[in-house]
Structure 1
């Protein structure tokens, strides 16, 4: 199974190398001198760097995780395949985001990072379950040291997915420091894990009971002693520097003091026994400082509590005096308010009486106005009736005049008709007389003509 574990490491490294190669091949080359094409290539290179940093960080996490075990189980192998499946989709997501940097591709990229991180958490948990028993302090140490940063990592990723819906162009560049920060934090957590692995079981129990800031203080104390070379057993230690430059110069498989450590195979390090003794002695010194500090803290806390009790009593007395003053002030305010209310009530009564008088005067005025308006209406009605009567008389006179005119016209027309009839009758009589004379003359002419013919 050790050989199979080695081949699984090689298989995982090969898959990650192919992923990085495919991402490089997906970059679109510039074939023409066009500023737009060069800008688009620069954007693609930037997104490639983001994905490269993420994949490189996952390779480091995977390599350091598998370096802690010499064998594996079927669960570890299956979880490793499950981790590589979404990781192998990184070139596709990178190409999509480089070609179309909108909300959907950026959110899909963040979701892919979330799935890769979650699957790696399952893989790391399976490795810890395989390496340590349920009651092992090392598993508890692993959860205490790595657990908080893992939660922060996943929560931060989920927040970026939500923000990518609103600000995809901005969230895109937050994915670059995302793996780099986790790389630094995980390396510090790994150093703390190495420090804890060199302690005894009882010391690990005390280590688990410390808060997070106390654990960081112990790591800083180890680094200070390694940097100054004050302890005698650190002749071959790497003298460390503070800051980011000092972290870059540290060996990868090293504890906080710079010692190369393999907690699962101490025989690989000839100085591991001395390093363990040194770290245990440092822990005893640190624990003593913590206990002394705790005693001083308890004394200071007792003094503070005593001062707090005195301050509380003074505050209670002051509060009671203030309450009495406030009560007296409230009484005074109530009396003033009552007087003001009485004055306001009298003012309201006066105002209501004045308003009643004004209303009564207004009512009288309204009645007088109504009576005057009624008289005006009555006068107007009489005037309208008189005007109507006059109009009726005028219409009646006009009708009578029109009737007389019509009768005169009718009589005149009748006379005209009679005259016309007489004139027509006289014309007809004249015409008839003229016709008779013409016929008599014609008869005489005919008789003369016939006599001539007889002759």
Structure 2
């Protein structure tokens, strides 16, 4: 069914060409001399460039994938149709996003890119299953080589879809470098996949155990050595250590510049020579790895021995320091004991002095108390004398007051008697004036 595979390639190319044609036909021409219309057209052209780059990258991935096989299965054909279905929706999503650059169209565009990429990975898996007989090992190689970048694509697309909900105008232009990065990384991954497929089963098992930095070193060895048609080894003219080297690298070639499908371009002898060269390069790489591992082990053993010596010296130094610290602590303890003894004696002396001082203070307090008691007794006696004097004075004052009151009472009585006599005389001799009783002397005696 090689002829059917050729027609399927032509059918896929035609569908992709129609997709690109429809996208450019959807651009709205400017019929009026209006700057706003030209600005809108520029925006549409920019979005068209984004979609063109994505579809063109899918065409390249599809072409290089189908170039590796001469026949196909029904599974590959069905998966190819499944891949072309969402890819055909690219003009619709592009037109929607150009006409209304809001969150929903931009997010829908990102979802469409994710679906197309997922369908293409499904198609790639079916091609890998058909191309290689050692399916399990080659799938492991595919996951090891392509898996890291596929994870980056998925995570990046999910992040862009989420950000498109908040910043659709900005996220739109981040879809432009997506196919360019995809093109660069996938071409390198495909070259590594072909290089790994040229190895023996045992070498592939060793390849699967390598970390990423070791895989990159093996790729550098392959890049730096090319295999011309005459079988001699020379330095590669276009190593892919930079962007310029990648641009000048032949399309559909391995890391050394040889065609990925040598059966279509070279003789079987050249293909076998390339396979032997890869295996020889792997042996050289394995020797370098073993030498590096031995050097690493020797260096690690040397470093371990140095670390042990350093630790031993540190232990000795720590023991000396501990001994010095112990002697210092012992000396400090003895010094502290002496100081404590001196402090104890000082406290005893202070307590004796304090006891004597307290005794003197107590004697002083007793003397003060006795003196105070005597003072209080004298004050009490003085108060009693003052009280007695005050009582005597009060009694004399009271007697004098009583005497004055009696004198006043007697004087009042005399006045009353004189008034009565005057009244009596006045009744008989009205004109006569009463004579004062001047002959009588007042009796001042009690």
TM-score range, shorter chain: 0.5 to 0.7
User: Structure 1 residues 308, 163: closer, same or farther in 2, change over 3 A?
Assistant: farther
Rounded to whole Å, the distance in 1 between the matches of 2:202 and 2:102 is 55
Look up the match of 1:250: 249
Rounded to whole Å, the distance in 2 between the matches of 1:250 and 1:168 is 36
Are the aligned partners of 1:192 and 1:255 in contact in 2 as well (CA < 8 Å)?
A: yes
CA deviation map 1:384-420 (0-9, x unaligned): xxxxxxxxxxxxxxxxxxxxxxxxxxxxxxxxxxxxx
CA deviation map 1:22-55 (0-9, x unaligned): 0000001111111111111111111000000000
Offset of residue 104 of structure 1? 0.9
- SS of residue matched to 1:271: helix
- SS of residue matched to 1:210: coil
Offset of residue 165 of structure 1? 0.9
Rounded to whole Å, the distance in 2 between the matches of 1:268 and 1:41 is 52
CA deviation map 1:54-83 (0-9, x unaligned): 001111111111112222222211111111
Rounded to whole Å, the distance in 1 between the matches of 2:191 and 2:166 is 39
Offset of residue 267 of structure 1? 6.0
Look up the match of 2:58: 58
Pair 1:126-2:126 in alignment: yes
- SS of residue matched to 2:225: helix
User: Structure 1 residues 80, 208: closer, same or farther in 2, change over 3 A?
Assistant: same
**Superposition RMSD in Å:** 2.9
Are the aligned partners of 2:129 and 2:135 in contact in 1 as well (CA < 8 Å)?
A: no
Offset of residue 171 of structure 1? 0.9
**Which stretch of structure 1 is more off in the superposition, 78-87 or 192-201?**
192-201
Are the aligned partners of 1:142 and 1:193 in contact in 2 as well (CA < 8 Å)?
A: yes
Are the aligned partners of 2:194 and 2:254 in contact in 1 as well (CA < 8 Å)?
A: yes
Using structure 2 for the length normalisation, give the TM-score. Answer: 0.66
Are the aligned partners of 1:199 and 1:280 in contact in 2 as well (CA < 8 Å)?
A: yes
User: Structure 1 residues 27, 265: closer, same or farther in 2, change over 3 A?
Assistant: closer
Rounded to whole Å, the distance in 2 between the matches of 1:102 and 1:308 is 63
Look up the match of 1:240: 238
Rounded to whole Å, the distance in 2 between the matches of 1:72 and 1:282 is 32
Rounded to whole Å, the distance in 1 between the matches of 2:288 and 2:183 is 32
Look up the match of 2:300: 301
Look up the match of 1:285: 284
Offset of residue 302 of structure 1? 3.0
User: Structure 1 residues 33, 269: closer, same or farther in 2, change over 3 A?
Assistant: farther
Q: How does 1:4-23 map to 2 (within 5 A)?
A: 4-23=4-23
Offset of residue 316 of structure 1? 13
Rounded to whole Å, the distance in 1 between the matches of 2:276 and 2:191 is 17
Are the aligned partners of 1:238 and 1:259 in contact in 2 as well (CA < 8 Å)?
A: no
Offset of residue 201 of structure 1? 2.6
Q: How does 1:15-414 map to 2 (within 5 A)?
A: 15-133=15-133, 135-226=135-226, 233-234=232-233, 239-241=237-239, 242-262=241-261, 268=267, 271-307=270-306, 314=314
Rounded to whole Å, the distance in 1 between the matches of 2:315 and 2:23 is 69
Are the aligned partners of 2:103 and 2:168 in contact in 1 as well (CA < 8 Å)?
A: yes
Structure 2: state its 5+ residue gaps.
Answer: 330-446
Offset of residue 261 of structure 1? 3.4
Rounded to whole Å, the distance in 1 between the matches of 2:158 and 2:67 is 29
User: Structure 1 residues 203, 99: closer, same or farther in 2, change over 3 A?
Assistant: same
Offset of residue 311 of structure 1? 6.5
Are the aligned partners of 1:260 and 1:269 in contact in 2 as well (CA < 8 Å)?
A: no
Using structure 1 for the length normalisation, give the TM-score. Answer: 0.65
Look up the match of 2:408: none
CA deviation map 1:210-261 (0-9, x unaligned): 111111111112222349x9x97136x8621442122111111211111223
User: Structure 1 residues 265, 195: closer, same or farther in 2, change over 3 A?
Assistant: same
User: Structure 1 residues 300, 20: closer, same or farther in 2, change over 3 A?
Assistant: same
Are the aligned partners of 2:83 and 2:116 in contact in 1 as well (CA < 8 Å)?
A: yes
Look up the match of 1:395: none
